[in-house]
Chain A
């Protein structure tokens, strides 16, 4: 049902005529792509629609009123902040209202109690800058410093800095959520008063509704305000240097230092990470794909391919680097202590320190997402999962094996097994596998590869990030939990019985498989007949 004039007027009354439009030109600006995460794939082509109307609220109360109008009038709506997740963040049904949250960019920093309070339009870049001015820091997720901090915290929210800082879920403090029917739910200390400094309860913790391991893509309400815990950093200034795009933060070497080590084998990489965790040192410990080095060095696509084409299966197979970030949280003496312990460990595993620039180009400053499109134009992370260092090192190679079957159109990367690292001082391990493709190729096999990874994870008993709305729910549901999909759908039906909050998520990937003829042969799982068509 198109948004009628009456409904439009009701919505206009909420935000004023300046902040609502159904002008096709304006709405076209919210078409998914071109470019961006997962862009150009079948999911985008089949599932995304240009919104019928766009609205830009300023306050939680406005969001509530908008959602209530939608719910009363059966208008589907989609919350949208900075849209990193491309096609997943855009409407999937005709004539949906896109609620653009960028105007909700309030920002308050509480230095003493280590949190920032933000709206969904607030991005990481200024948050990190302000935090570091006041002795704190945050994790900028892989989505990059241009991503909405709230969207990132309820979707993903990690980086190599998670070696020390840990799971993003733990940093969500007092939060306001406009539920799918427009009712306001206040979480943590906001449930009992006006102070957002605390995240839990009271009683059972409804932060469980905000996300699973990864996010729900707006199908269970809209977060309009969140206090995000920051972590104490060290006191020295990290100076911005360089000219865009070659910018960096110059590091105060006695307090912050990256050191790259070459180690003799993958076992040595894992052992080094474990020992660093057991010794409770360092601010980040990671191993990244070899081609990231080419990305970092290249200033254009051609240069990347010049560099990358010099590599081969052997160089990739023998690339064993461990990148360690030391931070003098306590003092220079503490950092010296960490470095001595680190050198002990590296000596034991046969690691050799390489000359490392005294600067940070990515993880403290801005994460790396912008570089991901450099090589081919198309990019997606097919898994980014926190488990343990028992799973993480073996997870990537299983992806690399599967990927061979789909290369091309996937970029030839000589069997690179991706990225893994320590989380939470070695209590957890992380693995991420990224794929790239040329958008001018037939990309249907990329869609097929994506679903095939789920089957591989199920078969090999790997935990995976791509659950919930990220893969067909009826494929993964019976295999994890088991039957987590049944409980997720019960919760969805309870809070959004009319399925107006970003329909048909969390069943969107199931619907995609039904609609895309090139996916039909992949479907070897049961699903109900009444899926939205």
Chain B
């Protein structure tokens, strides 16, 4: 029996295909990664079907490219060595919402749009990255360590216990979901760690190279009763970092982020390109956005002590910082921005990153907050050499873990139909990545062109990764030609 027939046996004829027309939708994404064709696509509906497919592929040395989202930005799901696209979009069930333990369990194909909608009905929310596309997989975003805009929780990482299919086809539950008979057990999957090793760590930022995660447990939080969104126009990045060092360790705020005028304009613009251009010209170089919230109990009192603290700090130590409910010159912003921060980017509106010129390339990393300005200067210098104006670069800085670190993200917008421009952006991206790495930027998610640059520097780490990969994926079938595999 040929591969296609066996796939049909596993998932049904309607859910697998080798038709080039159907396969075309997996060939490319919003990144400049060259297109790549798969030989098959299969759409399983259960972990057992995933296991069957992966086992079949392992026996036949067929590359497997897991694909959970319906929109992709980094090229990680483009087949680079042919093989099979494992489209997990049919695995889209929210399996449990557990209000007592503030936990949700859901499958890989569940999107931001779906999950936020279902949780909202129960009074819960997921702390989320900045404007995740509604049709993107929530599980993928957390596996890939997208940073949430809310950093007030000391415990950080929201992922809890999950289920995977190893590259050799075994189904395996991790952490406290590993008990026999789960979920029919007192153990609910609240702990991601163990058994034996912290296997879940190997799946983080693995771009589907270590196996297939079929469902996960995730922490959820109550929706605040009251919110107040505050803004401050910022000229001096170092100065605002000092301010954040002063307030965030005191556990002030929920969502906290910094956007330059390009990114904020792209997020806010409604009429294109008029709105975008007008806003970009009028907005301050940087805008600090800080949301303070009253939670389930005595919400007004919680808001009051946070405001009181902020008032004291700004009055006594940062009197030049104009932190208020309005960004001067932009009335009504507070009513518009909070829903944007608390909801996925709507599926029927092109994502703001792609509205500017059709496509974009983002360079992001972790660093100490005090070095952010240095990196901004460096990227501007390199961009200028490529004829890319500094005032056109989108910059988003996410303070992390009470501002002990931050994650700058530089976005270069380009027209994907223009080959020269695409090539220029690619060259600019690579040079900037190499230069920033040399200056101490920490790249934890090396996609595409970034991978060889990072792993050349992290050689011992790459060597150990390859050994781990060999243990779990002896035939290197899982999404080959990504990372250092």
Please tell me which one of the listed residues B100, B178, B179, B461 contacts residue A206 in the complex, with CB atoms under 8 A apart. Answer: B461
Contacts of B199 in A (CB 8 A): 208, 484, 487
- B219 near A427: Cβ-Cβ < 8 Å: yes
Assess the B170–A483 pair: CB atoms within 8 A: yes
Helix, strand, loop or mixed for chain B's interface?
loop
Residues in B119-167 with C-beta less than 8 Å from chain A: 145, 153-157, 160, 166
Contacts of B401 in A (CB 8 A): 114, 229
Interface centre among A184, A201, A341, A394 (most CB of B within 10 A): A201
In the complex, the answer to whether B194 meets A204 with C-beta atoms within 8 Å is no
Determine the distance from Cα of A513 to Cα of B153 in the docked complex, in whole angstroms: 44
- By a CB distance below 8 angstroms, the chain A residues around B193 are 167, 169, 211-213, 386
List residues 293-308 of chain B with CB under 8 A from any CB of chain A. Answer: 295-298, 301-302, 304-306, 308
| B316 on interface, CB distance cutoff 8 Å | no
Q: Which of A202-239 contact B (CB under 8 A)?
A: 202-214, 216, 229, 231-232
**B297–A341 contact, CB under 8 A?**
yes
A287 within 8 A of B: no
- Distance, CA A490 to CA B62, complexed state (A): 23
Docked-complex contact A113 and B368, CB < 8 angstroms: yes
Assess whether B442 is interfacial by the CB under 8 Å rule.
Answer: yes
In the complex, B226 has a CB within 8 A of chain A: no
Supposing A186-B461, A204-B205, A494-B467 touch, asked if A467 and B444 sit within 8 A by C-beta, the answer is no
Q: Does B387 sit within 8 A of A, measured CB to CB?
A: no
CB contacts (< 8 Å) of A428 on chain B: these are 101, 190-191
Q: How far is the CA of A277 from the CA of B184 in the complex (A)?
A: 24
Question: Beyond A211-B198, A329-B251, is A491–B155 a contact (Cβ under 8 Å)?
Answer: no
Query: Cα distance A77–B386 when bound, in Å?
Result: 56
Given the interface contacts A192-B437, A280-B295, does A167 sit within 8 Å of B194 by beta carbon?
Answer: no
- Contact pattern, B 172-214, Cβ under 8 Å of A = 1, otherwise 0: 1111101111101111111101111111111111110110000
Shortest beta-carbon distance from B11 to chain A in Å:
24
**How far is it, in angstroms, between the C-alpha of A506 and the C-alpha of B470 when the chains are bound?**
21
A336–B309 CA distance with the chains assembled, in angstroms: 13
| Distance in angstroms between the alpha carbons of A208 and B464 in the assembled complex | 12
Contact partners of A460 in chain B: CB under 8 A: 186
Chain B residues, Cβ within 8 Å of A200: 145, 204-205, 366, 444
> Is A481 on the interface with B (CB-CB < 8 A)?
yes
Nearest residue (CB) in A for B161 is A463
A390-B186, A479-B180 as given contacts; A208 in contact with B465, CB under 8 Å: no
From the candidates B196, B209, B455, name the one contacting A488 in the complex (CB within 8 A): B196
Interface residue? B249 (CB, 8 A): yes
Task: Select one of B98, B102, B188 contacting A278, CB under 8 A.
Answer: B102
Which A residues are in CB contact (< 8 Å) with B306? Answer: 330, 334
Interface presence of A68 (CB below 8 A): no
B460 x A462 contact (CB < 8 A) = no
Task: Enumerate chain A residues within 8 angstroms of B470, measured Cβ to Cβ.
Answer: 494
8 A Cβ contacts from B421-474 to A = 437, 440, 442-446, 451, 454-455, 457-458, 460-461, 463-465, 467-472
* B460 and A185 contact, CB distance less than 8 A: yes
Which B residues touch A203, using CB under 8 A? 205-207, 444-446, 451, 455, 465, 483-484
Chain B residues near A479 (CB, 8 Å)?
A: 179-180
Contact residues of A between 477 and 503, Cβ < 8 Å to B: 477, 479-485, 487-488, 490-491, 494-495
Residue of B nearest to A274 (CB): B100
**Chain A interface size range:** 35 or more
From 293 to 344 in chain A, residues with beta carbon under 8 angstroms from any chain B beta carbon are 329-331, 333-334, 336-337, 340-341, 344
Task: Report A185-199 CB contacts with B as 1/0, cut-off 8 Å.
Answer: 111110111010110
Is the CB–CB distance between B198 and A212 below 8 Å?
yes
A206's closest neighbor in chain B, by CB? Answer: B464
**How near does chain A come to B126, taking the closest CB pair, in angstroms?**
13
Q: Which of A114, A330, A487 contacts B250 (CB 8 A)?
A: A330
Question: With an 8 A cutoff between CB atoms, is B252 at the interface?
Answer: yes
Cβ-based interface call for B404 (8 A): yes
The contact of A198 among B190, B405, B463, by CB within 8 Å, is: B405
Q: Shortest distance in angstroms between A493's beta carbon and chain B's nearest beta carbon?
A: 8
A522 to B433, CA, bound (A): 59
CB distance from A13 to the nearest CB of B (A): 25
Contact between A204 and B203 (Cβ–Cβ < 8 Å)? yes
Considering the complex, give the chain B residue whose CB is closest to the CB of A194: B440
CB–CB B196/A484 < 8 A: yes
Residues of A within 8 A of B160 (CB): 427
Interface residues on B, range: 35 or more
Q: Is B72 an interface residue when CB atoms closer than 8 A count as contact?
A: no
Q: Does chain B have a CB within 8 A of A170?
A: yes
Given contacts A165-B154, A202-B444, A208-B201, contact A213 B103 (CB under 8 A): no
A36 → chain B, closest Cβ, in Å?
25
B222 CB-CB contact with A under 8 Å: yes
Q: Which one, B173, B188, B309, contacts A387 given CB within 8 A?
A: B188
Residue among A204, A467, A491 with the highest chain B CB neighbour number at 10 A:
A204
Residue numbers in B under 8 Å from A208 (CB-CB):
197-202
Complex-state Cα separation, A277 to B180, whole angstroms: 28
Whole-angstrom distance between the Cβ of A478 and the nearest chain B Cβ:
9
User: Is there contact, CB below 8 Å, between A391 and B188?
Assistant: yes
Check: B90 CB closer than 8 A to any chain A CB. no
Tell me the complex Cα distance, A195–B305, Å.
Answer: 36
Q: In the complex, which residue of chain B has the Cβ closest to the Cβ of A478?
A: B180
Q: Quick one: given A169-B198, A208-B198, are A114 and B249 in contact (CB under 8 Å)?
A: yes
Is B402 positioned at the interface, with any CB of A under 8 Å from its CB? yes
User: Is A481 within 8 A of B178, CB to CB?
Assistant: yes
Contact status B202-A205, CB under 8 Å: yes
A186 to B463, CA, bound (A): 11
Tell me which residues across on chain A come within 8 A of B198, comparing CB atoms: 169, 207-213
Known: A114-B401, A331-B308. A189 touches B205 (CB 8 A): no
Contact assessment for B187 and A192 in the assembled complex, using a CB-CB cutoff below 8 Å: no
List B236-282 residues whose CB lies under 8 Å from chain A.
245, 249-252
Residues of A close to B483: CB separation below 8 A: 203-204
Q: Which residues of A contact B102 (CB under 8 A)?
A: 277-278, 426-427
**Chain B: minimal CB distance from A29 (Å):** 33
- Contacting pair B156 A166 (CB below 8 A): yes
Query: Which residue of A206, A427, A477 is within 8 Å of B155 (Cβ)?
Result: A427
**What are the residues of chain B within 8 A of A491 when measuring CB–CB?**
197, 468, 471
Task: Say whether A387 contacts B176, CB under 8 Å.
Answer: yes
Tell me the complex Cα distance, A113–B415, Å.
39
Inter-chain contact A468/B187, CB cutoff 8 Å: no
The answer to whether A170 touches B157, judged by C-beta atoms less than 8 angstroms apart, is yes
Chain B residue nearest to A332 (CB atoms) is B305
Quick check: B187 and A424 within 8 Å, CB to CB? no
Cβ–Cβ < 8 Å partners of A330 in chain B: 250-252, 305-306, 309
Judge whether B405 and A197 touch: CB under 8 Å: yes
Contact B296 A278 (CB under 8 A): yes
Which residue in B98, B309, B440, B446 is a CB contact (below 8 Å) of A333? Answer: B309
The 10 closest A-B pairs by CB, nearest first: A166-B155, A213-B194, A208-B201, A232-B249, A461-B185, A463-B176, A201-B444, A388-B190, A212-B194, A488-B196
Known: A201-B204, A425-B153. 14 other contacts (CB 8 A): A165-B154, A202-B442, A203-B206, A204-B483, A208-B199, A388-B187, A389-B101, A390-B187, A391-B188, A425-B155, A461-B185, A462-B185, A463-B178, A463-B187
A sample of 21 inter-chain contacts (CB < 8 A) reads: A113-B404, A114-B401, A192-B454, A195-B440, A197-B404, A197-B405, A203-B451, A203-B455, A204-B468, A206-B461, A334-B305, A388-B176, A395-B186, A429-B190, A461-B184, A462-B186, A463-B176, A467-B194, A479-B180, A480-B179, A484-B195
